[in-house]
């Protein structure tokens, strides 16, 4: 089998195979070049009669090796094709994973070194989630979920920068030990079950504690505000949490929000979601707060922003959302004082929106004075 892309990265190939990487032979594939798949953190192979894709040839793969590779590559909509590669000892027959026709668009030429510097860590985390499902789910499902695996992996990378520890104690993850992992749930969302022990405040060690964690995503939230007209935009949509809680009115007022895509700064997510959910161009983004939504059981982390913009030509209500994502969103442009009254009445019952409005209340005079 000939590898021209990310599987040339030995740690990734070892993870996919579930074992140490066997001997590899330097090889090339004439008539082809490795390009980045457009807007994706992985490469694709493209016909080019004047080029030769560089890579490695791996002979002697077992049937189990091929099954694991097929499962992993199937998540990218890649299939094996017969080719002839060139080695120091001459031409050799091989198989290579080609993208399905028309599935990905071609981006710039791809570099293993540049990819490793930017994307290797994220790819390893996402690949582990893929291979955790080997033998349990099929590659077609993995293909639909792979962007969310990468979003979770990107969240783990962003989490590496810890918040200050001035009031908090100086303990770190070195003082926590995951004793074992138990069977959880792997779907669009993930529930990880595990047993842990940790250092106690009194210096002792806790007993073994069984716990479960809801593994979600990082999300960017933006509250649009027009300091000239002193109006804010709130979005309203049906939410599944209130449905399952038994709330008789499960439509919720919220800020604009969306998942942070892999490699995307949260501020850019906020701008993108404002366009998608409300057709709204944000003039200036100001950071509000960052934090966990419910740290007792969930990894979900919010990056919150104020979006300074022009709402003067906006009607009191409008429609928004992407049909491709089954979004049915109503936008409300209302005076700031009315929004604060909705907190008092309890109609604003999404805590992030209440928090963002209260934050705006402390900055509002300064924002209005600056226009």
Alpha helical stretches, state H, the chain: 10-17, 63-74, 112-132, 139-158, 240-245, 266-278, 336-345, 351-369
Q: Which residue has the higher pLDDT, 166 or 139?
A: 166
271-281 pLDDT, tens per residue?
A: 999 999 889 99
Amino acid 167: pLDDT: 97
pLDDT exceeds 80 at position 316 = no
Mean pLDDT value of segment 18-44: 93
| Cα–Cα distance list, 60 to 17, 93, 263 (Å) | 13, 13, 36
Q: How far apart are CA 209 and CA 194, in angstroms?
A: 8
* 3-state secondary structure at position 34: strand
Amino acid 235: pLDDT: 96
pTM of the model: 0.88
Mean pLDDT value of segment 173-186: 94
Residue 323 — pLDDT band, cuts 50, 70, 90? low
Residue 324 — pLDDT band, cuts 50, 70, 90? low
**DSSP-assigned letters across all residues of 85-138:** EEETTEEEEEEEEEEPTTTS-EEEE--HHHHHHHHHHHHHHHHHHHHHTTTTS-
pLDDT exceeds 90 at position 328 = no
Strands 90-99 and 209-215: unpaired
88-125 pLDDT, tens per residue?
A: 999 999 999 999 988 999 999 999 999 999 999 999 99
Contacts of 198 (CB under 8 A, 6+ apart): 175, 176, 177, 205, 206, 209
Contacts of 79 (CB under 8 A, 6+ apart): 73, 97, 98, 100
Amino acid 46: pLDDT: 93
Amino acid 230: pLDDT: 97
pLDDT exceeds 90 at position 317 = no
pLDDT exceeds 70 at position 326 = no
Q: Closest Cα to residue 303, out of 148, 146, 154, 192?
A: 154
Amino acid 22: pLDDT: 80
Q: Is 82 a catalytic residue?
A: no
pLDDT exceeds 70 at position 68 = yes
**Residue carrying structure tokens 């309203």:** 236
pLDDT exceeds 80 at position 154 = yes
Q: How far apart are CA 279 and CA 313, in angstroms?
A: 12
234-264 pLDDT, tens per residue?
A: 999 999 999 999 999 999 999 999 999 999 9
Mean pLDDT value of segment 112-140: 94
Sheet harboring 190-198: ordered strands across? 176-186, 190-198, 209-215
Residue 318 — pLDDT band, cuts 50, 70, 90? confident
Mean model confidence pLDDT for the chain: 94
195-223 pLDDT, tens per residue?
A: 999 999 999 999 999 999 999 999 999 99
pLDDT exceeds 80 at position 287 = yes
Mean pLDDT value of segment 130-141: 92
Which of 181, 325, 327, 344 is an active site residue?
325
Contacts of 134 (CB under 8 A, 6+ apart): 68, 71
Mean pLDDT value of segment 133-141: 91
* 3-state secondary structure at position 68: helix
């Amino acid at each position: 089998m000939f590898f021209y892309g990310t599987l040339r990265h030995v740690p990734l190939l070892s993870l996919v195979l579930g074992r140490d990487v066997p001997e590899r032979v330097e090889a090339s594939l004439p008539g082809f070049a490795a390009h980045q798949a457009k807007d994706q953190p992985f490469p694709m192979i493209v016909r080019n009669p004047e080029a030769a894709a560089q890579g490695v040839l791996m002979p002697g793969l077992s049937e189990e090796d091929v099954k694991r590779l097929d499962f992993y590559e199937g998540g990218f909509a890649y299939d094996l094709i017969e080719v002839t590669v060139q080695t120091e000892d001459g031409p050799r027959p091989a198989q290579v994973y080609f993208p399905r026709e028309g599935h990905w668009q071609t981006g710039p030429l791809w570099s293993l070194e540049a990819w490793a510097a930017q994307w290797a860590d994220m790819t390893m985390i996402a690949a582990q989630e893929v291979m955790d499902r080997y033998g349990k789910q099929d590659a077609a499902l993995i293909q639909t979920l792979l962007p969310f695996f990468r979003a979770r992996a990107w969240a783990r990378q962003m989490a590496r920068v810890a918040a200050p520890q001035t009031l908090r104690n100086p303990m770190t993850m070195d003082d926590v030990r995951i004793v074992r992992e138990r069977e959880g749930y792997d779907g669009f969302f993930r529930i990880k079950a595990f047993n842990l022990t940790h250092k106690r405040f009194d210096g002792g060690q806790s007993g073994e504690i069984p716990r479960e964690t809801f593994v979600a995503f990082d999300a960017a939230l933006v509250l649009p505000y027009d300091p000239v007209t002193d109006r804010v935009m709130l979005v309203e949509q049906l939410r599944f949490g209130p449905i399952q809680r038994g709330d008789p009115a499960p439509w919720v007022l919220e800020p604009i929000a969306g998942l942070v895509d892999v490699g995307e700064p949260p501020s850019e997510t906020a701008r993108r979601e404002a366009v998608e959910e409300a057709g709204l161009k944000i003039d200036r983004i100001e950071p509000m707060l960052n934090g966990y939504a419910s740290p007792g059981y969930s990894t979900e982390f919010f990056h919150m922003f104020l979006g300074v913009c022009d709402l003067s030509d906006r009607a009191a209500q409008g429609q928004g959302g992407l049909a491709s994502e089954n979004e049915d969103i109503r936008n409300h442009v209302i005076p700031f004082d009315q929004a604060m009254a909705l907190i008092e009445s309890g109609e604003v019952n999404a805590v992030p929106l209440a928090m963002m409005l209260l934050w705006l209340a402390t900055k509002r005079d300064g924002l209005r004075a600056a226009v």
